[in-house]
Amino acid sequence: MLACGAGTAAQRFGAVVSGLSHLDDSGHARMVDVSDKPATTRTATARGTLTCKAETLDAVLSGRTPKGAVIATAELAGVMGAKRTAELIPLCHPLPLTKLEVRIEADAAVPGFQIHAEVRTKGPTGVEMEALTAVSVAALTLFDMLKAIDRTMVIGGIEVTSKTGGKSGDWP
């Protein structure tokens, strides 16, 4: 048994390092070298939900929330979050984003909100993490702005719904 901090990262975490792109041969973290990859147009979309009480949804739709323009603020926060993805996610490349859109739609069937993001760049690596970050930060902002009136809210279902470009191709 190794003491905390002793040995290489691979030894400490039992990692198998061969074939893992974010670890070198000694098990140390590294950013993948994408300098030889061609810059192509890449897009990603993601979605998620914030479930809340029907009364909370009604308060937002009627403008009766203590913190003001909840949806507009959360959409802006999602954009800001996506632009900072490389600062939040270790080993994520900073990318020049050429399109970034966050949409939040009230949905009585949830009840709550559907959150959608679309991100585009022309670069050597994809923007899935930026789309996921946009949705996550928008959901967290909704939660923060509504927690005073609803402590039962649940953030969920955050997922990439599509991606285009790059070596791995388009999906779905």
Active-site residue, from 24, 33, 36, 144 = 144
On whether the CB atoms of residues 139 and 115 are closer than 8 A, the answer is yes
Active-site annotation holds for 33: no
Q: For the stretch 125-143, what's the b/e string if a residue is b when 16 or more beta carbons lie within 10 angstroms of its beta carbon?
A: bbbbbbbbbbbbbbbbbbb
Q: Are strands 112-123 and 154-164 parallel, antiparallel or unpaired?
A: unpaired
d(CA 129, CA 73): 21
Which amino acid, residue 83? K
On whether the CB atoms of residues 165 and 39 are closer than 8 A, the answer is no
40 forms beta bridges with 123
On whether the CB atoms of residues 22 and 32 are closer than 8 A, the answer is yes
d(CA 150, CA 59): 11
Catalytic residue numbers, as ranges = 144
